[in-house]
Structure 1
Amino acid sequence: MALQAAGAERDWLPEPGFLECLTTLPFGKLYLELPTGPQVFFSNAAVNPNQGISLALKTLGWSCQEWPSSQDAASVDERQALATLRAAVEEQPALVGPLDLGWLTYHPEHSYLRGADHFALVLAVHDEYVLLHDPQKYPYAWLPVRDFLEAWRAEKIGYPHAPFTLRMRFRAQERPAPERAVLIARTLSLIRAQWGQSFEGPVLYSGVAALKRLMVALQADRWSHLLERQLVNFVLPLASRRLLDAALFLSEAGLAAAATCLQEQALLCGRAQWFLGQRKRQALQDCLQRLVVLEKELPALLAG
């Protein structure tokens, strides 16, 4: 939506699932061993969502102004941030995030989502409210300015970012726009390079190591309830969606075996979500074990 508002041709703009793959986020597994409890995401451990957006824009042949700059981030206050955002949206919608979902008070379950990240498009800034386009089923979301600023400050978001992160003034850098085959080739090059970055603790685990840590954590009494809630309500449904997007992307790239591998992973995530909801713990562990086997096979399949 941001690119279209900036003049991108509608018949060129890729669909959301394809754009998600350009961030490289659907390709990988991530487990964090934190003092407050473990967190797991079926997401690329080499990049965070904020970095993924920048990667996708570069791959698409677009640029934008990112604010604040790394030099200014420490000194930015909310009044300056709001003034910058207000001026930006007078030209075109601006992308804000990460936002803390816990402060998006138009969301009926916001009080349970504190610390979860989100991104949205700002359409207008009024004296008392900010008008957002939230892609998660809220095309016109009205949010009080105070709640918006707390969400935009994003103090509880766990990965590195500046408060009040804003992307504005989107511009095409390549003419003509890159064809889909070019976008796929650029992204595959990134994914293959990232796959060589293995993380095995003590805080961050990736790939097979992340899945194995998850299996152990689900058997531990201390954190199992917290982790099960994350998995059943958010992580596994999102994982199935992302893995299906990734499978379609790899199929279009001509990597049929890798696409089949990710499609089976998507199916297993759906089964795991049901098993977890039904308290079928052994069946859940069997699903995760099969995911480990597939994850081990994937690097060779991605190499083509």
Structure 2
Amino acid sequence: MSVVVFAGEGWKRGLMQSEPVTREVNTPATYLGSGPYCYANSVAMAMGEGAPAIGLLETVTGSPFGMQILGDALFFDPNGWTPEIGIDEALDALGWTVTKTSGAPEAEAVARLREACGRGPVVIGPLEMGHLRHQPGMNGPIGADHYIVVLEVDDEGVTAHDPQGYPFTRIALGDLVAAWRAESIDYGQPFTMYTDFVRVRDVGEAEAVTACLPAAHRRLTAEPVENADAGAALGLARTLDSGCDPGLRGLLTGFSVRAGARRTADAASCLARAGYGEAAGIVGEQARLIGSLQRALVVGEDAGAAAVLRALAPTYSRLGSAIGAVVNARQH
């Protein structure tokens, strides 16, 4: 169903000064707002004016297409996936190259960062967020990874854009080095940075989305394991049945559900615009289910949250089949 509405103050005065806009009444509004998109936002800042929409960038990292349990933590991203893998896949799908370096002694890493900042913004990460003391309440390692964009380096510290909500923040060199070692992060190498972002080919949105689907299909149709996708959803449901640890509840409500709901919402929009309606519908269903977990988990309605997770579990095999149909059709 469509309706015609008029935008602008002129219509309010009865002057009809604006062009009519047709809007689908039943189309949900696209989410815009804050959210834990640190690596995608950092990469977009480094790309500059040529950066794609942030929802597209996040989608082609592959993050929306799965769910995994890692030890005592749960994340709405595919089994074995990390932001480092996602950045590499996104840049390839979008037609960009980058120089990625890691390791080296601390002094050499800082010198390398200073030299690179002379050529443009530098993405660094993973970082241990707990060492970033410009963020209130951060006084030591918490096991949370983070990415930022460094703009300038001097003898006392760096000036950086922290996509957590801190533009032009200052970070002391000692804190930066401690965070950049990433000793408490379970992936990546210390002192990893991304420099010299260059677009080498023009890639449209539909082409980029299509390029990320074979990897999504491979992950969604891998041999089922208890810590991934349906197994992860059912496992978390059982955990909620028996009582949720405060630490896990904090992770879920502070990060995992927020990131998962936004990722899937963005992926549903990208898939729909690319013409993949069946997959878009399933991922949109996932977004609604994941998003509905937030209140239940915050207020302690764990039985309701467990029921949502049991409804979420079978969507992963359905999504694998829908994406597989697209991938197979394009191969023939």
Superposed pair shares fold, TM > 0.5: yes
Q: C-alpha distance in 2, partners of 1:280/1:286?
A: 10
SS in structure 1 of the partner of residue 314 of structure 2: helix
Q: CA deviation at 1:250?
A: 1.3
Aligned ranges for residues 113-192 of structure 1 at < 5 Å?
Answer: 114-159=142-187, 161-174=188-201, 177-192=202-217
Query: Does 2:210 correspond to 1:210?
Result: no
CA pair 3-61 structure 1, distance change in 2 beyond 3 A: same
**Alignment match, 1:67:** 101
Q: Taking structure 1 as reference, are residues 263 and 111 closer, same or farther at Cα in structure 2, changes over 3 Å only?
A: farther
Q: In structure 1, what is the Cα distance between the partners aligned to 2:137 and 2:91?
A: 31
CA gap of 1:124–1:118, structure 2 versus 1, over 3 A, is: same
Cα deviation, 1:198-252, whole Å, max 9, x if unaligned, reads 4625xxx21111112212223345x622211211222112211111011111112
How many residues align structurally?
284
CA gap 1:262/1:86 in 2 versus in 1, 3 angstroms? same
For residues 49 and 279 of structure 1, the distance between their equivalents in structure 2, rounded to whole angstroms, comes to 30
Does the alignment pair 1:227 with 2:227? no
Separation (CA, whole Å) in 2 of partners of 1:233 and 1:113: 17
Deviation at 1:257? 2.4
Distance 1:275 1:154, change over 3 A: same
- The alignment's C-alpha RMSD in Å is 2.0
The alpha-carbon deviation at position 287 of structure 1 amounts to 0.9
Separation in structure 2 between the aligned mates of residue 97 and residue 20 of structure 1, nearest angstrom: 16
Displacement of 1:81: 0.4
- In structure 2, the residue matched to 1:57 is 91
Q: Distance in 2 between matches of 1:103 and 1:232?
A: 22
- Whether the 8 Å CA contact 1:3–1:170 is kept in 2: the answer is no
**Secondary structure, counterpart of 2:147 in structure 1:** strand
Q: Deviation at 1:284? A: 1.3
Alpha carbons of 1:141 and 1:185: their partners in 2 closer, same or farther (altered >3 Å)? same
TM-score, length of structure 2 as denominator length: 0.80
Q: Distance in 2 between matches of 1:5 and 1:208?
A: 36
Does residue 249 of structure 1 match 2:276? no
Q: Which AA in structure 1 matches 2:97?
A: S
Identify unmatched segments of 5+ residues in structure 1.
Answer: none
- The aligned counterpart of 2:81 is 47
Cα distance per residue 1:34-64 (max 9 Å; x no partner):
3xxx110001224210111011111121111
- Decide whether aligned partners of structure 1 residues 266 and 158 sit closer, same or farther in structure 2, where only a CA change above 3 A counts: same
The answer to whether residue 39 in structure 2 is matched with residue 18 in structure 1 is no
What are the superposed Cα offsets for residues 46-96 of structure 1, whole Å, 9 maximum, x if unpaired? 42101110111111211111112xxxx3xx211010000000001111110
TM-score by length of 1: 0.87
Aligned letter for 2:229?
G
Give % identity. Answer: 31
Larger gyration radius, structure 1 or structure 2: 2
Deviates more, 1:140-149 or 1:286-295: 286-295
